Chain A
Amino acid sequence: MFLNTLFFLSTFLIFLSSISLVTTKNIMHSCIFLLGSLIGVAGLYVTLGADFVAATQIMVYVGGIVILMLFAVMLTGGKDFVSRAQALMGLIPAMGNKFSTFVGILTAAVLVISTSKLFINLRSAIPQNKMAATESTVNKIGKLLVTNHVLAFELSSVLLLGALIGAAIIARPKKIF
């Protein structure tokens, strides 16, 4: 009952905000609709009993990514961003001429066909009308991160460190080399 309600609310939110996201002309509004869609995904994670992942979704996307996106859009021209108009006229190939539309549809079809095999058995795999995980997932995730998946964990932290240093070097006032 609770999970069904949450599922329908989340999917409704995702559906509405995704439709609005691609139809609105204002790129700042797109960012906000993207936020709604991401929060809906967090709701879906809660439905699956993944509380830590849901909180991380909100933490990363609401607190970080969307604000940075808004900053970037605002600093590069805000809602008067011209590329969107040019893209609608077909001037920028990456944003929609015939060839790129064709490639996009082809990619989407391949992805749907290849991932649909994963979801065929989903309904029988999830126990119906039950809280998927009654205990918290934090302890398990923590243990796995420092045992089985420690290499991936360390590699991603090195990647983030590299990004941080790169940003600092780009933002430096004078060249060091």
Chain B
Amino acid sequence: MNSTVVSYLTGFEPVKQFIAFLTKSLGFDVTALLTFVIFFLVAFVIVNIMAAIGGLGTYAERKISADMQLRIGPNRVGPYGLLQFLADGVKMIMKEDITPRDADKFLFFISPIFCMVGVFSTLAVLPFSSGFTLTQLDVGTFYLIAISSLVGLGVFLGGYASNSKWSMLGGMRGASQIISYEIPVTISVLGICLLAGSLGFNKIIAQQAGLPHTWFIFHNPFAFIAFFVFFTGALAETNRAPFDLPEAESELVSGYHTEYTGMKFGFFALAEYVEVFVVCGVASALFLGGYNVPFNLGGDGLVGQLLQIGAFVSKTLALYYVVIWIRWTLPRLRVDQLMTVCWKYLTPMAIFNLVGMAFWVYWFNGKSIFDLIFAAGSHAAGGH
């Protein structure tokens, strides 16, 4: 059985006693019921927190861009304008929900849902900590890449169903961009799976440790390049600038969600911001040590779990800042440049990295470059 949040929680003695007590007093085996309840509660909490993080992402984006452009940014609603995203959400719910007369009603309705489902399904395997991960699938990375392709479908269908030429162009660009950039991203992830010998997030993170020299990004030169290939491709997959061609405001009004109003548009926006968080989380789990705390502080208890969540979220938010920083620094690419970057540069680099990592694992038995340097240094100093 995969280790899940339920198997982590039921490992504690008080929880076992509680289950035994409930079973005795209610007269039937409550294990299945309790499993369902725990899964439901944890999933509920995670989805709500992630929605709040998505909302705060819009706030962070506006505030950071304001800083970069010497403006003030939102500062009216709540302290420092922190509640701005709640005001935006209320506004979106109260807006009129318009469906264009010539739109394909069914597809128009279902495409924001595809985006939301694709993003929020990935949270099932996102490793927040060693205990509080919803499920630690053995095919975790593969599942994540697979299910997040629903987002591309949602973008494409949103563009098609609107029956507007701006939306259509945005949707086509979005679908082709997401399909293309999936290839370098997947190959980069594959290289890390090769180093760790597993597709599961928990095993990949267990091969790393708290301090930077054990992270996979510094494992060997190929992994170092692979991180940047992965990050660039991930930016393109989440339609973030400089790759935000599907919603290029200067050319396409607003791209695939031009015709969307109210909460349907809100779903697209929320899905985008949560997806950025997910992608940054994947990057920190695969390359930056994930939830490992330096010196293993806190151990395996509840304090340790909280520290692990802190380590994971802080790494992820640092990458989130970089994403926003890039968006407000670089200008948008052209469509042909976009495809050139993917197929002529990133994909060959990713394949080169994969082959290089395979050779590295074969020649050096999977040792990291720091291990080799230390070994050579101690050998030169006369040690054994």
Contact = CB atoms under 8 A, between A and B. Distances in A.
Interface of A: 1-2, 26, 28-29, 32, 35, 51-52, 55-56, 58-59, 62-64, 66-67, 70-71, 74, 78-79, 131, 134-136, 138
A28 B104 contact: yes
B182 A55 contact: no
Given A1-B32, A67-B175, A67-B179, A59 B150 contact: no
B157 interface: yes
Contacts of B179: 63-64, 67
Contact of B142 (A2, A35, A52, A74): A52
Chain B interface residue number, banded: 20 to 34
Contact of A70 (B110, B149, B156, B199): B156
A135 B203 CA distance: 14
Given A32-B110, A55-B139, A58-B146, A74 B160 contact: yes
Contacts of B160: 28, 70, 74, 78
B133 to A, nearest CB: 16
Nearest to B147: A58
Contacts of B107: 28-29, 32
Contacts of B32: 1-2
B149 A63 contact: yes
B150 A62 contact: yes
Interface string B354-371: 000000000000000000
Identify whether the interface residues of B are mostly helix, strand, loop, or mixed.
helix
Nearest to B137: A51
A62 B145 contact: no
Contacts of A79: 104
Interface in B125-147: 137-139, 142-143, 145-147
B142 A55 contact: yes
A67 B104 contact: no
B143 A67 contact: no
Contacts of A78: 160
B374 interface: no
Nearest to B110: A32
Given A32-B110, A55-B146, 7 more contacts: A32-B106, A58-B143, A59-B145, A63-B145, A63-B149, A70-B153, A70-B160
B175 A59 contact: no
Given A67-B179, A70-B157, A136 B149 contact: no
B139 A67 contact: no
A51 B142 CA distance: 10
B146 A136 contact: no
Nearest to B39: A2
B1 interface: yes
Leading 4 A-B pairs by shortest Cβ distance: A63-B149, A136-B138, A59-B146, A58-B146
Contact of A136 (B104, B139, B175): B139
A1 B28 CA distance: 14
A40 to B, nearest CB: 14
A67 B153 contact: yes
B142 A59 contact: yes
A55 B143 CA distance: 5
A52 B200 CA distance: 11
Nearest to B148: A63
Contacts of B149: 58-59, 62-64, 67
A134 B1 contact: yes
B152 interface: yes
Contact of A63 (B35, B106, B152, B172): B152
B146 A52 contact: no
Nearest to A35: B153
Nearest to A59: B146
A52 B1 CA distance: 15
B295 to A, nearest CB: 31
